[in-house]
Amino acid sequence: MNELLGASLPVFIGITVILFGGAAFLMGQALAETWRPPWQNVLYGALLAIGDRYIIYALFGGELLSIWGYLLHAAVLIAIALTAYRMTRAWRIVRQYPWLYERTGLFTWREKTSP
């Protein structure tokens, strides 16, 4: 498991999922709030994963240049960011255009039907 993650499981959960995952969540919300395109989550998530790998290397002795570790950490962070992006975009659409759209779920909205 350490070879795949590039760190131990507790370090992965603590640093990647909780610490940097929180940052990725806030990043996804910020990108949605400012009407940025979703592909920017991928770019910034990849940059965030570089910082994540460095913190794991510097503080916990993880492998810095682990390709699989980087890809897995980046995928997790990008998934968290895209989830936050979609949730915030759905909330924002319905809040900004309440006469046009209504919420249908956590990630979705639809056009209001005429009475």
- Predicted pLDDT at 115: 64
Report if residue 7 sits inside a domain.
yes
Report if residue 102 sits inside a domain.
no
Q: What total number of domains does the chain contain?
A: 1
Report if residue 98 sits inside a domain.
no
Q: Is the pLDDT of residue 87 over 90?
A: yes
pTM (predicted TM-score): 0.91
Rounded to whole angstroms, the Cα distance separating 27 from 73 reads 16
Residue 2 near residue 69 (C-beta atoms within 8 A) = no
Report if residue 109 sits inside a domain.
no
Residue 32 near residue 90 (C-beta atoms within 8 A) = no
Report if residue 106 sits inside a domain.
no
H/E element, 84: helix 67-96
Domain that holds residue 62: 2-88
Spatial neighbors of 4 by CB under 8 A, at least 6 apart, are 68, 69, 72
Q: Is the pLDDT of residue 90 over 70?
A: yes
- Region 86-101: what's the mean pLDDT? 93
- Region 77-102: what's the mean pLDDT? 94
Report if residue 111 sits inside a domain.
no
